Amino acid sequence: MMTLNLPPAELRLSQREGHTLVFDFLRRRYVRLTPEEWVRQHFVHYLVHHKGYPQESLANEVSLTLNTTSKRCDTVLYDKEARPLAIMEYKAPNILLSQKTFDQITRYNIVLRVPYLMVSNGLQHYCCRVDYDTNVCTFLPEIPDYTTITN
């Protein structure tokens, strides 16, 4: 897999039926290693080990219903009362982050109404803060640490 613009992560890999699997420490099981999953695992390790996000406050592949359609958020960060605080959306490194990517995460946010949205393809990372009082979305210069998000 490609080297990412994230700190190295110690990932547990396995082979099964001709496929490479990676251990997802949030879901506590092996999942198929795709380029997008490679980004997810590195980004989640980055959040936990470098930005101070509590592992128990993160969940991968969170289901939600938008209108009558089932969708899945790649990762959601929750506060201590199990309210969503941030949505993370990942793309494979060869996928350019575009308006379409931000439209996708914004649709998920219609349901969850979180104050932070993060998007990464492993090479570029964006985070914006949504202010619902002023209806302004502000892009932050970097991915915030956990104490910034919870204050």
**Domain residue ranges in the chain:** 35-150
Per-residue pLDDT at 69: 85
| 60-119 pLDDT per residue, tens | 998 888 888 888 999 999 999 999 999 999 999 999 999 999 888 988 888 899 999 999
Which one-letter amino acid corresponds to residue 122? G
CATH architecture of 35-150: Alpha-Beta Complex (3.90)
**Residue 1: is its pLDDT beyond 80?**
no
What are the C-alpha distances in Å from 111 to residues 91, 108, 135?
Answer: 21, 6, 16
Cα separation values, 105 from 10, 87, 118, 123, Å: 28, 7, 8, 18
Q: Number of C-alpha atoms within 13 angstroms, CB side, residue 93? A: 15
* Positive/negative CA dihedral, 149, 60, 114, 88: positive
pLDDT of residue 116: 97
Q: How confident is the model at residue 45 (pLDDT cuts 50, 70, 90)?
A: very high
3-state secondary structure of 114: coil
pLDDT category of residue 2 using cuts at 50, 70 and 90 = confident
pTM, two decimals, is 0.93
Rounded CA gap, 144 and 151, in Å? 11
